[in-house]
Amino acid sequence: MKSHDVLIIEATKDKHKAQAAVLIQAGYSVQSIQPDTIEQLEEHLATSRPDIVVYGKSENMPDLQSVISLLVQDSDEIPLIVIASKLTKRSVTAAENCGAAAVVQNGQSDNLLRTVKKELRSAMLYRRIGRLENEFELIQLQHRISELENTLRENEARCIDLTEDSRKAIAYIHEGIHIYANRSYSNLLGFDDDDEIIGTPLLNWVDLHHNVNLTKLLHNPFASDDITKLKVQLNLDDAGPIEADMEFSAVSFDNKFCTQIMVHTSGEREIPKSLPDTFKHHDMITGLFNRQYFMQVLEEDISTSVKSGMFQAVTFVLLDNFKAIREKIGVSDSDALISEIAGLIREIYGQENTIARFGDYTFTILNNYNYKEGAYQLAETLRTKIEKHIMNFNEHTTSTTCSIGICVINEHVNDAQNAHSRADLACELARTSGGNQIHVHSTTIDAQIDREVEEKMDDMVRKTIDEDRFYLVYQPVISLNGKSGGHYEVLLRVLDEKGHVILPGQFLSLAEKSPLIMEIDRRVIQMAFKALSDMHKKEENTSFFIKLSGETLADPQLPEWITQQLKENNLRGDPVIFEIPESVAANRPHETQAFVKAMQALDCKVAIEHFGYANKPEIIKYLSVNFLKIDGSLINNLATSKDNQKKVKSIVDLARSTDTLCIAEHVDDAHCLVMLWQYSIDYIQGNLVQEPSKDLTHDFEDEAALAGIIETDER
């Protein structure tokens, strides 16, 4: 890791020695100067640009405002820390009003070191975000160009479809040569085959008297936006000369600027209908449907397919190791890779199935098939095809694999969100089992939820609890505003009898239907408290987000039990944050309010997770919680979805108005991070930072670890 340069500005050499010593010991490169004038400081900065400045205020030195004004002239603003002889509210306010990043009391070397680390982290992240914003603007421009190109190709294809069906004679001319003609045009000129006219000059059929005017029109078809008309005489071998009106317009065809000619010989003129605008339903990179349209189709089709007895499934495809590939080949080539993969999916599943780009590197298919194993066999064909596909991008040759999850739609899965969630869950199981494989969501468990077998299900959950087939994983929650301290969300993992990992979705769907969910939640709290207590023996400033179900929340004895667990683990309440789903808080407002008050009495904090999904913003005005976790469905496609941007911005504004901290969950790509930074979001959580892990080793303090959040291409 590069050593950061610290510049100490003091009145005398003696004054800076203590500060310099502690910074040098921590690995920083330290310089010190004693400028009498601002010009002397400016001369020094002209040849040496520090990463941070430590300023010891003195009457014999340039004033603080002049120093800060000089530092902010640089494109990468240099943070400044003031060393004050006395730390008073007045001195801190005065320094911050001048633009100082922080104020530290003279003699507090440890506090100075912590402050330098924090401000360097914030400055580095700010600079990287700035570079990412520039890259994001370029990507948006590239996406816009790609969008226009896709729209142009679609419009060209629709134009051809329209002209093929038109009874009016239409042809495209490039440099005076026919490059396309519809059936009516070919018939008019006496050709039985449309291809026979391709490559022939238009002037072969037009009377010489009109050649001069016609040549001008063909030479510069883009001279005017208006349609240009010309009366001509066509010399036809069979029918002889006939009078005709030609309408000329500038078009693009097959990547060429050319002239469209519409020939009217008699009767009513027929103009093609205006083209429909369907691009709002499509992804701009791949041309596939987008997430919103896919869910709309799924909601419309799912009930019909269940009633009709059709074989239908939702297939979820995730590219393995895509982030590493994107880092290797860059953003532009990774977009091309995504487009190639989309082509493979389209080739296998065809036009009769609904295919969408669902996320940054995920795809979904609503596919129909004719026999029981059809969905799996199609998925296996795709998996094999992607595995064997080699992609060449300039200097790079790359390949990838995919993880596929399938949810078969039947009487137990008859809700669009449910079907997609189960396909997503199945895909996650395939990925966490090593990737490059397929997992089919089992509806056996769903069928067993029927009342006559509920007791058997209770036995299965009971056995899992008794055999202690649980473990925890942790995902970092990162501050975007330089706040110190580490936060983790606690996530449950379950093992089956053979030791295979089961993600909690399916298992908890069973447990939540019985009182056993309360026992599971308590077990998670015990495990989390023990891990947090062990962490605090090494690092005091660590907090855990712990999920609660609705049934556990309603338990009147829960606060007393939590109090006892805190005592047994020698924990304070403030590093514990309990998460309540928005839907639970909305459906159980009184129980939620009572729980929030009880936790606040213990100094514990409360977060509302999946906020925005149930669209119940009024609950925040009713509940005094500490955090809002924005639902991942709003973070996906944030960079390109105007609706999601509007919703997220409104949630951030709501949080600000209620003095609540805001967390964006499921942050999986750097593009949406730019938007979140612009919205001044407080925290982010997602695979972009780090995937869930058993280890509690994320370095929240190390600037190199923090830099890894942002996938910038600095080559």
Asked if the 5-131 domain carries CATH number 3.40.50.2300, the reply is: yes
Q: What is the DSSP letter of 699?
A: -
pLDDT of residue 444: 52
Mean pLDDT by 10 residues, the chain (715 residues): 74 68 84 86 84 82 85 74 83 84 83 84 75 67 66 62 70 84 83 79 73 65 59 72 81 76 64 42 81 83 61 89 79 82 90 85 84 80 91 77 88 74 82 84 52 56 80 89 81 77 63 75 93 84 91 90 94 94 86 92 93 76 88 80 86 89 85 80 86 82 46 37
The Cα 323–Cα 123 span in angstroms is 25
CATH architecture of the domain formed by 167-264: 2-Layer Sandwich (3.30)
Q: What's this model's pTM, rounded to 2 decimal places?
A: 0.50
Which residues in the chain are classed under CATH 3.30.70.270? 285-447
- Residue span(s) of the chain under CATH 3.40.50.2300 come to 5-131
Percent of residues in the chain assigned helix, strand, coil, to nearest 5 = 45, 25, 30
The length of the chain in residues reads 715
List the strands of the sheet with 80-84, edge to edge.
Answer: 29-33, 5-9, 52-56, 80-84, 102-105
pLDDT of residue 276: 39
Options 3.90.1310.10, 3.30.70.270, 3.90.79.10, 1.10.510.10; CATH for 285-447 is: 3.30.70.270
CA distance 503 to 500: 10
Query: What pLDDT does residue 558 have?
Result: 93
Q: Give the CB-side neighbour count of residue 516, counting CA atoms within 13 A.
A: 19
Segments of the chain assigned to CATH 3.20.20.450: 470-707
Q: Where in the chain is the domain with CATH 3.30.450.20?
A: 167-264
Class of domain 470-707: alpha beta
Q: What is the pLDDT of residue 154?
A: 61
